[in-house]
């Protein structure tokens, strides 16, 4: 199964470097990375070019002009460039463990999307990790426990590994908690729902909209907890100015049986 990893990025070449180092360390090799760049400058392009030259997998750079937060649009454009069966959405601030992709591959199942979770890194520790190109890939559980005790991470539970089982499918219609920092979807299912809805303006809830429409289409929520977490680097929050309008839009989708995005993926395919 070929996987396309689609990380969204904007003007954080240090975080993007840490992320790409994490994917160089993966124990699963049949994948590509399609970087969804929402208008970054030259420093980001330089990072991507450097890794394109040395990575043993394909790295594509899909860029759009900076006209404010347009995550749904750039993710659709990136997915349109993917050559894969399975798409994993993530963000520039999310560093994977070496078994991140192999764990997602084991959980992949037709008729389901997989929502993973994250471990939050504290501000100072995040700065250290970003400055050292994400040098946390091989830390052992005891080392992470030490970090939690010293306040460098918010919790240790996501790092516990549990086997696959029916418990992962107990809440097939749950949309809350599924976020594009760690979300895996079959490419065919994304095409069926027409990808992300680009009518969402600014930060927030475009990922929830996608998940709800997947559920409406018959694709269930399979939990990726205790299997494939990411390490989330601290950063200042984006503006929430448009969040209330996005909430109203999302409520309309919740109250409907709506499946396809009116302004979505089919523009680019």
Q: Residue 189 half-sphere exposure, CB side, CA atoms within 13 Å?
A: 26
d(CA 97, CA 230): 7
CA 216 to centroid of chain Cα atoms: 21
Q: Place 43 in a pLDDT band, splitting at 50, 70 and 90.
A: very high
pLDDT at 250: 87
Q: Is the pLDDT of residue 241 over 80?
A: no
When pLDDT is averaged across residues 59-65 and rounded to a whole number, the result is 97
Give percent above pLDDT 90 in the chain. 83
pLDDT at 67: 87
Say which residues have a Cβ less than 8 Å from residue 188's Cβ, sequence separation at least 6: none
What order do you get walking across the sheet with 59-63 strand by strand? 59-63, 31-37, 3-9, 86-91, 182-186, 112-115, 220-223
Q: Place 200 in a pLDDT band, splitting at 50, 70 and 90.
A: confident
Q: Is the pLDDT of residue 134 over 70?
A: no
Q: Place 132 in a pLDDT band, splitting at 50, 70 and 90.
A: confident
CATH class, range 3-261: alpha beta
| pTM listed for this prediction | 0.96
β-bridge pairing 86-91 and 182-186: antiparallel
Helical (H) or strand (E) element with 251: helix 243-254
Q: Express each pLDDT in 153-198 by its tens digit.
A: 999 999 999 999 999 999 999 999 999 999 999 999 999 999 999 9
Q: What is the mean pLDDT of the chain?
A: 94
Q: Place 238 in a pLDDT band, splitting at 50, 70 and 90.
A: low
Q: First and final CA of the chain: distance in angstroms?
A: 21
- Between residues 236 and 77, the one the model is more confident about: 77
Q: Is the pLDDT of residue 239 over 70?
A: no
Q: Is the pLDDT of residue 55 over 80?
A: yes
Give percent above pLDDT 70 in the chain. 97
Q: How far is CA 193 from CA 54, 80, 108, 160, 187, in A?
A: 35, 14, 18, 33, 10
Q: Place 240 in a pLDDT band, splitting at 50, 70 and 90.
A: low
């Amino acid at each position: 199964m070929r996987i396309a990893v689609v990380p969204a990025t904007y003007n954080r070449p240090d975080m993007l470097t840490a992320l790409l180092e994490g994917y160089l360390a993966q124990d699963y090799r049949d994948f590509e990375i399609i970087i969804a760049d929402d208008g970054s400058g030259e420093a980001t392009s330089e990072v991507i070019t450097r890794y394109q030259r040395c990575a043993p997998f394909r790295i594509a750079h899909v860029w759009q002009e900076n006209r404010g937060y347009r995550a749904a649009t750039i993710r659709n454009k990136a997915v349109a460039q993917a050559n894969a069966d399975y798409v994993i959405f993530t963000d520039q601030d999310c560093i994977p463990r070496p078994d991140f992709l192999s764990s997602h591959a084991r959980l992949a199942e037709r008729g389901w999307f997989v929502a993973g979770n994250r471990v939050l890194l504290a501000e100072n520790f995040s700065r250290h990790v970003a400055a050292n190109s994400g040098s946390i890939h091989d830390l052992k559980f005891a080392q992470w426990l030490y970090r939690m005790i010293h306040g460098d991470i918010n919790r240790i539970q996501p790092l516990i590994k549990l086997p696959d089982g029916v418990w992962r499918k107990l809440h097939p219609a749950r949309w809350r908690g599924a976020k594009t920092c760690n979300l895996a979807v079959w490419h065919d299912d994304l095409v069926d729902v027409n990808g992300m809805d680009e009518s969402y303006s600014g930060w927030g809830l475009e990922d929830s909209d996608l998940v709800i429409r997947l559920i409406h289409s018959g694709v269930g929520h399979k939990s990726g907890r205790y299997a494939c977490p990411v390490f989330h680097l601290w950063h200042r929050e984006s503006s929430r100015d448009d969040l209330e309008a996005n909430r109203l839009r999302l409520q309309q989708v919740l109250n409907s049986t709506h499946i396809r995005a009116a302004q979505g993926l089919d523009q680019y395919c």
